[in-house]
Structure 1
């Protein structure tokens, strides 16, 4: 009935429409306004059409084979974010082809060289996992020498020259500060992002002085200054004499202000904690493995992993907008700086030509597995653990972005948990026997 009245109503004059509407209201019992809306609708044309609607199917450019190669490259580059990964793919492919350690077809290679950061982020969503634990703070102040060292805040690092480094000490105590344990001296150049990690036996003046002397000798170009927090391991007579002897500018941050050391604080997690976790290291076996691991990580992070530098930051209302430069490896940033001597650049280039990315990554994974087997605690499966109520955490970022953050995955902690589960299963199996 509605279709018949619609056809009559559509081609009728104004006077005829009034009579047709009156007739339709009397037969259907609809409200007059609703009845006029029903007759004015044009859905009848769609219903009368018999031809099926053609559906536009998008072609899949990045299939499972491309995703598999992309996932392997992502794992090879330590699960870096998509914005850094998209700029690291060309050099990584060249390295793999030069040493013939990983075969990539021409079609997949062309697709990977054209892929965007947003596409990478979308393709890697199913394989991302979020892990993270916090460690303990070991910083103590020295009130007698602290006034002799000038303060440098977070806003004074914009025009830094290559050679000005921020340093910090990371404790490997496993959550227990009693007894002796090893620490890691992490130093990063503010200008180029070049990062060096050195293992330290303890926090005494002698060991810290040895570590800083080694840092000066290992750094690929001359050091100009060091910047630390207010811990007693840095604020002491031996470190002040060291800086005076080698004509280094020694500055410090404000007490309880981590943002005065932003670059090295970020490297504490992305370089040290991501690769060593939060276990306790206090044995000679741990020391030997960590020394080998840091020698490889210094090459891996500085020669292969790109870094983004903040160009500008401005506030719009309640939001702060940040703009970053094109991701580049610390090696590329060093070669572009005219302040660094050409002799040091030639040495760095010669080292890079002989580095095989896949073999370095495999050695790092093997050393990490050995470290987990020795240092991971043996947890009994039958011990009752008291459950604490979780604290309420209020996030400002969307839930999907928190769950699928590309920089949040920590493969070392994942392997550590698997090792603990294996040990617990072995104890249960042995008891049943």
Structure 2
């Protein structure tokens, strides 16, 4: 900037004395060298400025959000499960009164000024001020999905945007393997089911990928869902593409579809939960088929289920738009919790609506987070005991 101003200052006297035609040439040359969009104004300013051009040093802007606000925000963010900034920004009016009513926040720091700042802070600012606090060291998992080339041909291929996604009840399902760094041997799996319309999500840990355990988990998901399941979409793994599950869907009058092989974006709604829900809460360790560890996982998911569906906001794609360069980009609605979307859908029965309302009223979200942390500690201890194996914390850290 200082160089451009110096060039402009040297051209200013010649421009003032030049003819109209010469002024046009000077302007063209100045624009080509400096890239000014308002070269004539820059020349006029340079003539008025005395002395050599000086670089402008701006005074740093004062910090808007103080230390107390940051400390309270970190506490709320941790209790909310450390989500992306746009989601706490959308649910802060839900979380703050709840946590304050249950005495979970630092009363000395939560002054009226701090509360006002927390209620007006934006999602982008939350991400910025929490960046030093966020733990970005994540492990990678493995995939055990193997496409079945024969039976899958008898199942309809689902396309994104089908009419089944425009109403509640169409479920995407996927399985995550808890294999650690190797697929050898037997290990537990987590079955995840997500309603595309409302984003309501259920997770169940199963012993292995046998269709016996998958069918039991699907029966449990049907009972847990606050809305009737009318459609089921899965990937092409043998855990789903088998005669037993096809018969189960037919007996339940559930429309069964599948995605194209090796196209994870066809099941994007549930695939996103694999990292955001399963890996975030159950990590990348190896869990064997012991009843104790499977029970721990399901106890963990029972708490995650309530916090995720009642207190965690999510966005939903509503269409497409073209930007200034003609590129198509997605349009998303405002973040809302799955519970709010289910209520808005009007599909709940009176009994189910009253049950969810009572759960919402009596639940302390901070207790959920503490319970989740306690179970996570037990899972880590079970994998990283005296006999360190493939699921050990040290072993997993070497395979990042």
Specify which of 344, 347, 366 is matched with residue 339 of structure 1: 347
Q: TM-score, normalised by structure 2?
A: 0.79
- CA distance in 2: counterparts of 1:148 and 1:45, whole angstroms: 79
The aligned residue for residue 165 of structure 1 is 171
**Contact in 2 for aligned 1:141/1:230 (Cα 8 Å):** yes
Q: TM-score, normalised by structure 1?
A: 0.73
- CA distance in 2: counterparts of 1:158 and 1:246, whole angstroms: 17
- CA distance in 2: counterparts of 1:204 and 1:419, whole angstroms: 26
The structural deviation recorded for 1:369 is 1.1
The aligned residue for residue 291 of structure 1 is 298
Specify which of 221, 238, 241 is matched with residue 227 of structure 2: 221
Structure showing greater radius of gyration is: 1
The structural deviation recorded for 1:115 is 1.6
**Contact in 2 for aligned 1:154/1:259 (Cα 8 Å):** no
1:75 aligns with 2:78: yes
The structural deviation recorded for 1:128 is 2.5
1:309 aligns with 2:319: no
The aligned residue for residue 191 of structure 1 is 197
**Contact in 1 for aligned 2:92/2:119 (Cα 8 Å):** yes
1:357 aligns with 2:360: no
1:86 aligns with 2:89: yes
The structural deviation recorded for 1:222 is 1.2
The aligned residue for residue 112 of structure 2 is 106
The aligned residue for residue 122 of structure 1 is 128
**Contact in 1 for aligned 2:383/2:393 (Cα 8 Å):** no
1:375 aligns with 2:378: no
The aligned residue for residue 264 of structure 1 is 270
The structural deviation recorded for 1:78 is 1.4
Equivalence map 1:16-55=2 (5 Å): 42-43=49-50
**Contact in 1 for aligned 2:309/2:338 (Cα 8 Å):** yes
**Contact in 1 for aligned 2:156/2:257 (Cα 8 Å):** yes
**Contact in 2 for aligned 1:154/1:262 (Cα 8 Å):** no
**Contact in 2 for aligned 1:188/1:195 (Cα 8 Å):** yes
Change in 2 beyond 3 A, CA 1:204/1:377: same
Change in 2 beyond 3 A, CA 1:134/1:76: same
**Contact in 2 for aligned 1:188/1:263 (Cα 8 Å):** yes
The aligned residue for residue 348 of structure 1 is 356
The aligned residue for residue 180 of structure 1 is 186
Structure 2 unmatched ranges of 5 or more: 1-12, 18-45
CA RMSD of superposed structures (Å): 3.1
The aligned residue for residue 208 of structure 1 is 214
Specify which of 143, 148, 168 is matched with residue 149 of structure 2: 143
Structure 1 segments of 4 or more deviating over 6 A?
377-380, 417-421
**Contact in 2 for aligned 1:377/1:420 (Cα 8 Å):** no
The structural deviation recorded for 1:145 is 2.2
1:254 aligns with 2:268: no
Structure 1 unmatched ranges of 5 or more: 1-9, 15-38, 48-54, 381-412, 422-433
CA displacement, residues 25-77 of structure 1 (integer Å, 9 cap, x when unaligned): xxxxxxxxxxxxxx967425999xxxxxxx97855431000011111111111
1:233 aligns with 2:239: yes
Shifted more, 140-149 versus 298-307: the winner is 140-149
**Contact in 2 for aligned 1:216/1:223 (Cα 8 Å):** yes
- CA distance in 2: counterparts of 1:45 and 1:131, whole angstroms: 50
- CA distance in 2: counterparts of 1:159 and 1:265, whole angstroms: 16
